[in-house]
Amino acid sequence: MSEFRGYIVRRTIYAMITLFLTITINFFIFRVMPGDPVSIMVSERILKPAVVEEVRAMFGLNLPLWQQYILYIRNLLIGYLGYSFHWKEPVINVIMERMPNTILLMGVSTIFSVIIGIVLGILAAWKRGTKIDVTILTSSLTFYSLPVFWIGMMLLMLFGYYLGMFPIAGTMSRPPPEGFFERILDILHHMTLPAITLTLISYGEYTLLMRGTLLDVLTQDYIVTARAKGLPERRVLVRHAMRNALLPTVTAVAISLGFIVSGATLTETVFSWNGVGRLIYDAMMMRDYPVLQGAFLIISISVILANYVADIVYGILDPRIRYGGQGA
């Protein structure tokens, strides 16, 4: 097991390095963008140059770049992400206010698409070449390749507008209903259509991946060995085939889990869902750099963390990985 500890240490160091590089890039990317953030906040034509200079100093924008960078790192270490130009409150508050909505929507739809995708993928591989396989394959590919906003608008039109089964916009009713459970039900009611939309476009990825790897694994020699050993078919499938076939899927799932906090800009916009995806869109329109920078940072950290966890899980599932990659 000691080589496994070494593997974890290595992975941790890599994750730290990646994190540091991301933070640095995140800093400089906003410095090389055209335009002075102050000029967006205040009109230089109205204010006196001395006042503009005051505002610049307030945000530390008058300092040399390297000092700004050190300041930025120091602020990050104490958890300060800056102050929003537009919303006039700390960036962390602006993002965290919308984070629960996004995590709820993305979390639920990711979980559903992973489960549906993997189950359908296994079924398709198991029933290879039959009508079941063809049906699963065709529908997965169709949904996977449809534009997400189109599916969203179609669902809205059919179930929201014509049938009136679901609300057509928002995260909850205004005013919100009384009582805790009524509120939960209200949010779930609002969430149904966007969650279905996101599940529909993303489950196909897992289906195709799972089907492909499982079919590949099922032709391997060790599967023939497992059958020759007289193992029951179920055990061959679960213990010998699935564990090997799950490896690529683990990576795919981990990466999408990392993106849960980023929200889905298009879907959130179509359904007026008050989440991080829409926040990014709004911040972009308002040139609210601190909010964008903060959102990017949180997304990056989350993706790095998810990949780190995936690496560890992969190491547990596949002993070959622990040695620094002899590969499959």
Partner 1 sequence: MPLLQVKNLKTYYQTARGYVKAVDGVNFQIEEGEVFGLAGESGCGKTTVALSIIRLLPPGGRIIDGKIIFNDKNILTMSEEDIRKIRWKKIAIVFQGAMNALNPVIKVGDQIVEAITTHENVSKEDAWKRTEKLFEMVGIDPSRAKDYPHEFSGGMKQRVMIAMALACNPQLLIADEPATALDVIVQAQILKLMRELQRKMNLSMMLITHDLSIIAETCNKVAIMYAGKIVEYADTKRIFRDPQHPYTRGLINAFPSIRGPKRKLISIPGTPPDLLNPPSGCRFHPRCPYTNDKCKKIEPELKDIGERHYVACHMSW
Question: Which positions lie near partner 1, rule CB under 8 A?
Answer: 220-222, 224-232, 239-240, 243-244, 317-320, 326, 328
Give CA–CA dist 170/96, Å, rounded: 18
We find the least distance from the C-beta atom of residue 217 to partner 1, in angstroms, to be 10
Distance CA 84, CA 21 (A): 24
- Shortest separation between residue 222's beta carbon and partner 1, angstroms: 4
Terminal-residue alpha carbon distance, the chain: 20
* Closer Cβ to partner 1, 26 or 244, answer by number: 244
> Measured from the CB of residue 246, what is the shortest distance to partner 1 in angstroms?
10
Q: Which of 7, 1, 11, 15 is nearest to 304 (CA)?
A: 15
HSE-CB of 4 using CA atoms within 13 angstroms: 9
Measured distance CA(76)–CA(82) in Å, rounded: 9
Report the alpha-carbon distance of residue 45 to residue 52 in Å, rounded. Answer: 10
- Of 31 and 320, nearer to partner 1 (C-beta) is 320
The nearest distance, CB 9 to partner 1, in angstroms, is 21
Rounding to the nearest 10 degrees, give the CA dihedral for residues 6, 12, 18, 24.
-130
**Closer CB to partner 1, 74 or 320, in the complex:** 320
Tell me whether residue 20 or residue 222 sits nearer to partner 1 (CB atom): 222
Which stretches of 178-264 are DSSP H helices? Answer: 180-218, 221-228, 233-235, 243-258
State in angstroms the smallest separation of the CB of 233 from partner 1.
8
Give DSSP secondary structure letters for 139-174: HHHHHHHS-HHHHHHHHIIIIIIIS--S-SS-SS-S
Of the pair 103, 231, the CB lying nearest partner 1 is at 231
Rounded to a whole number of angstroms, the minimum distance from the CB of residue 130 to partner 1 is 12
Which of 157/224 has CB closer to partner 1?
A: 224
Residues with Cβ within 8 Å of 162's Cβ and at least 6 positions away in sequence, in order, are none
- Whose tokens are 């998810």? That residue is 306
At its nearest, how many Å lie between partner 1 and the CB of residue 119?
22
Taking residue 281's Cβ as centre, other Cβ atoms within 10 Å add up to 15
Q: Residue 60's CB: how many other CB atoms inside 10 A?
A: 13
Residue closer to partner 1, measured from CB, 285 or 328? 328
**Which lies closer to partner 1 via its Cβ, residue 35 or residue 230?**
230
Q: Report the nearest approach of partner 1 to the CB of residue 10 (Å).
A: 18
